[in-house]
Structure 1
Amino acid sequence: MFRTVAPPPPDFAGKRVIVTGGSRGIGAAIVQRFLDGGADVVATARSATEQTPQRATFIAGDVSTLTGVRALTAAALEALGGVDVLINNAGAARTHLGGTSTIPDEEWLDALNLNYLSAVRVTGELLPTLRETGPGAAIVNISSGAALTAPPLLAHYGAAKAALNAYGKALATELAPEGIRVTTVVPGTVLTPGADAIRQDIADATGASLAETTADVTAAIPLGRPGDPRDVAEAVAYLASDRAQWVTGVTLAVDGGQLPGI
């Protein structure tokens, strides 16, 4: 289980943060971590949930289209007056138990739009403002272990997240002379509603229970437990903070030792 640590320091006091996909799971935990650190936070998603931190400013919208991105980013900048930290967390996956060859063309495109191009577009719209912020601004992209070892049933999702990893590295190199840092976090097996839905699909197909399927995955994690969304949020907070002022271009696995080396 996640061990509660001391209350976080006010390391983000006065910072303006935008978190896409911030309504539940890992995104909601990231939003809460920045709020606890004193930041002003805009969370975006298609709709709010009971997990969405109430102290955040929530803006509903769709980041899978350029039109949706432009509307969301404009509203977020109006709410915050600028941006210091951008967290590209929006993403989702649909399983295809028949494997790679059964994934239709439109779902490859959907996966790219939501899990990769959303980050490219949001970053592109906010980059002029991030450049106004200048040195100290940070972008953190949230990828997936599927980018490293994609099972056939999630090949489209893994491919999109692998593209996100490559994009983050290239962008970090480009923006480093301006003092804007770009990093990528790769979560392993984390207990979230979205991941639970994927495991439930697998359980249904194999005749196992969700608990049995989760236990099988957990057995492969050296630290002996699946991740809590707060495990990922703490890593994101470090990478976005001034404590990581000499860290850029990295792809960090937060996985309990589960994934192959990056």
Structure 2
Amino acid sequence: MSDATTAPDAAGTRSAGWIRAEVLIVLGLSLGQSAIYSILSIADRLTQQKALNEQSSSLNSSVTPDRPWLDLSYQVVNIAFPLVPVLLALYLLWLHNPAGIRRPGQVIGFDLRRPGFDLGLGTLTALCIGIPGLGLYLGARALGLNTQVQASGLGDNWWTVPVLILSAAENAVVEEVIMLGFLYTRLRQLTWRGQQLVWPVIIIVSALVRGSYHLYQGFGGFTGNLIMGVIFGLIYLKWKRVMPLVIAHTLLDIAAFVGYALLAPHVSWL
């Protein structure tokens, strides 16, 4: 019998209970927890006297604006710690997969084996989603279905843009590794009434969770990210690689975060 510390075992040898426990633990430490808080947040917003489009949601907020050096430390810590559940998910994927996988990220295509392909597909995906996504956001705000999203609340510091870029990359890694690579792999190993879960069900479940942890922004944020989750899921199933979607998500968030920081002082429609 092989030692699990030196060679991964087959996921199929484990009970459904263990697989469900893995999913609940990883989600409970990361995006599932965010979804619960986001649902509470939208309940709070809907029970206020102000309409949704009269409220605001802040991302990348400053913690100690009067002490930039300490604020930078907070920002770096806030970027680093959410990556711990990603490491857990990658470790579990590596641990419970057939032998021959040398690196954890290789299981789901979170590696640098195809840089040209990943960059090209990721950039194309970002371009196809970015403009319609902005239109959906503005439309939802106009209809009173979304808050005003302030994508950067950081001050004018030398480190503001680098931190926003790192924050965008962190968001992308957390969401795509967990919501696509980890969740798709584990849900496919589960059964419902003796039948293996089919891909459409897995895509919808993952997309609903993705939309749910954006509900704090309003129903436009929920809908946009649900659609994005479906599109990303189809792309992942086609090529079985998370990396292009990490790149696409990073580019989308960089455009949102840095673009907001640069444009918001000069335009009114953001």
TM-score by length of 1: 0.33
Structure with greater helix share of residues = 2
TM-score by length of 2: 0.32
Structure with greater strand share of residues = 1
> Does 1 or 2 have the higher relative contact order (CA < 8 Å, sep 6+)?
2
